Amino acid sequence: MKKAIVLTSGGLDSLTCLALAQQSFDEVHALSFNYGQHHVAELEAAKRITEKMNIHHHIVECQFLGAMGGSALTDDSIAVEDYDPEGGIPATYVPSRNIIFMSIALAYAEIIGSSDIFIGISSVDYSGYPDCRPEFIDAFQKMADLGTKVGSEGQPIRFHTPLSLLSKAETVLLGTKHGVDYGMSVSCYRADTDGRACGTCDSCMLRKKGFEEAGLIDPTHYY
Amino acid sequence: MKKAIVLTSGGLDSLTCLALAQQSFDEVHALSFNYGQHHVAELEAAKRITEKMNIHHHIVECQFLGAMGGSALTDDSIAVEDYDPEGGIPATYVPSRNIIFMSIALAYAEIIGSSDIFIGISSVDYSGYPDCRPEFIDAFQKMADLGTKVGSEGQPIRFHTPLSLLSKAETVLLGTKHGVDYGMSVSCYRADTDGRACGTCDSCMLRKKGFEEAGLIDPTHYY
């Protein structure tokens, strides 16, 4: 019984990873995180997606992360800005978010006996977050190999980043080929409670550009 | 204003780290974790210690970790065994515990503007946990440097492990020199609600041996 874990925000990239993992593994476990993000519509999307795909879904309560503040995604006093390709690391960066989520996935993998964790990060059409770069993933893998029981015993848990070097257009083409319905996913940082998108934040702009470049109809509901 | 963060279980090693950090930093923040450990007496000890030392104390709710099970410290179906120096990694190992705690400390450091995190691990008198070894800490440091905003901008957050190469005897001698009252700390994996210790688990045996070898009176309350 080959089990995979997929970090699942409810956005376009994690939905693509769920579809890819489901093709190669007997059992897929989606891990989502309730960390005080304002755009909880993504969590609702994750629930609908995993239910429709018949995937085990676990929501991990990480309210401590939002309570710390420091990010436009969790802190009322910091605004989510419109997309600015020259703006450096944007205010939507959440300190150590991927590090914490990958660490929790690692614990879960060791406990359920999974050797494979998927994370839908990309370093092509992305917001410049340091924890989305391939060199970070390589370093995390080395740390995980040394810091876990299974890793130290020579049976490491492997992190898969199948979208790492793909543009957003290549990702949506790949997912569409695998039958993904992107209308179910919510990427917007300012999504309303119905999951409708603003169309101008980082996440919306990258997503929109992806569908345009791929020549596909954008199924996103904008408000 | 130099701020340090200290991972604080309430045991002997973290208490030593609090004392060391307090000597070199203007402001010390103790981070403790409520992760469903049976020996919650250690958290109570952490509260008393930080109050007495006038240190900021933050308890992070990580119930998800205990809920996953997989460790004798959190899972009712797995027994805490007596100390066995030849027994390999014991059942008290909590998958990815230090990785998760260090990741959360990293987020907190970045948010409050601290560049220094203390963790009281040792690889001398220890239980063989993979996430206590120097090579693990080195790998975590490299990962943290790449995965955080401050790290990627050349101002990394540094992990300090001042006890890493010290025996338990050397640790208690060092702490005693700095005025530490070890009677306040609780190390036992089977501590009762009053913080009294069993005297035979891994943690008790290593602690007891430390005081014996150091020629100091063991202030631990055994039941």
- pLDDT tens for B84-134 read 888 888 888 889 999 999 999 999 999 999 999 999 999 888 878 899 999
In angstroms, the CA A74 to CA A80 distance is 10
Give the best residue of B77, B114, B146, B155 to mutate against chain A (max A CB count within 10 A).
B146
Predicted confidence band of residue A161 (pLDDT cuts 50, 70, 90): very high
Residue B57 lies in a domain: yes
Residue B165: alpha-carbon gap to chain centroid: 15
Residue A12: which pLDDT band, with cuts at 50, 70 and 90? very high
More confident residue, A24 or B125: A24
Comparing B45 with B72, which gets the higher pLDDT? B45
pLDDT at A63: 93
Structure tokens at B59: 């308890």
- Strand ranges (E), chain B: 3-7, 27-34, 56-61, 116-118, 158-160
Select the residue of A99, A136, A144 nearest B106 (Cβ to Cβ): A99
CB contact under 8 A, A151 and B130: yes
How many whole angstroms separate alpha carbon A67 and alpha carbon B37? 22
Which pLDDT band holds residue A106 (cuts at 50, 70, 90)?
very high
Contact B28, B21 (CB under 8 A): yes
Closest residue of chain A to B131, computed from CA coordinates: A147
Name the band, by pLDDT with cuts 50, 70 and 90, for residue B64.
very high
CA torsion angle for B117, B120, B126, B129 (degrees, to 10)? Answer: -30
Among B60, B95, B151, select the one facing A130 at the smallest CB separation: B151
B7 inside domain: yes
Q: Which residues in chain B have their CB less than 8 angstroms from residue A146's CB?
A: 130, 133, 135-136, 139
Residue A79, pLDDT > 90, answer no
- Establish if A221 belongs to a structural domain: no
* Nearest by CB: B64 against A60, A96, A135: A60
Q: Is the pLDDT of residue A136 over 90?
A: yes
Write the pLDDT tens digit of every residue in A31-64. Answer: 999 998 888 899 999 999 999 999 999 999 999 9
Q: Which of B74, B92, B106, B140 to mutate to test the interface with A (most CBs of A within 10 A)?
A: B140
Contacting residues for B214 by C-beta, under 8 A, at least 6 apart? B169, B170, B172, B173, B176
B127: Cβ contacts below 8 Å, ≥ 6 apart: B89, B90, B92, B93, B202, B203, B206
Residue listed under structure tokens 């963060």: B5
What is the tens place of the pLDDT at every residue in B12-52?
A: 999 999 999 999 999 999 999 999 888 889 999 999 999 99
- Gap from A182 CA to chain B (nearest CA, Å): 29
Tell whether A134 is covered by a domain: yes
pLDDT band at A69 (very low <50, low <70, confident <90, very high): confident
User: Of A60, A68, A106, which is closest to B111 when you measure between CB atoms?
Assistant: A68
User: For B103, which of A100, A148, A152 is closest by C-beta distance?
Assistant: A100
Domain assignment of residue B196, yes or no: yes
Best of B59, B62, B64, B74 to disrupt the A interface (most A CBs within 10 Å) is B64
Record: contact B142-A147, CB cut-off 8 A: no
Distance from CA of B48 to the nearest CA of A (A): 22
Q: Is B41 a member of any domain?
A: yes
CA distance B138 to B58: 26
What is the average pLDDT value for chain A, to the nearest integer?
Answer: 94
Could you give the CA distance from residue B204 to residue B222 in angstroms, rounded to a whole number? 10
Q: For B160-175, what is the mean pLDDT?
A: 97
- Summarised one tens digit per residue, pLDDT across range A119-129 is 999 988 887 88
- Containing structural domain, residue B111: 3-214
Residue B222 maps to a domain? no
Residue A87 CB coordination number (10 Å): 13
**B103 vs A103, A142, A152: nearest CB:** A103
Q: Is the pLDDT of residue A76 over 90?
A: no
Number of structural domains chain A divides into: 1
Residues of B with CB under 8 A from a CB of A: 60-65, 68-70, 89, 93-100, 103-104, 106-108, 110-111, 130-131, 133, 135-136, 139-140, 142-149, 151-152
For residue A90, what pLDDT band results from cuts at 50, 70 and 90? confident
Contact between chains at A131 and B148 (C-beta distance less than 8 A) = yes
Structure tokens at A77: 């006093």
Please report the pLDDT score of residue B96 as a whole number: 93
CATH of the domain at A18: 3.40.50.620
State the residue for tokens 């969790």: A74
Query: CA-to-CA distance for B153 and A134, rounded, in angstroms?
Result: 17
User: Which residue of chain B has the CA closest to A33?
Assistant: B64
Q: Do A147 and B98 touch (CB under 8 A)?
A: yes
pLDDT of residue B44: 95
Cβ-in-10-Å burial (0-12, 13-18, 19+) of B200 comes to middle
Q: Is residue A101 part of a domain?
A: yes
pLDDT band for position B146 (cuts 50, 70, 90): very high
Confidence of residue B186 (pLDDT cuts 50, 70, 90): very high
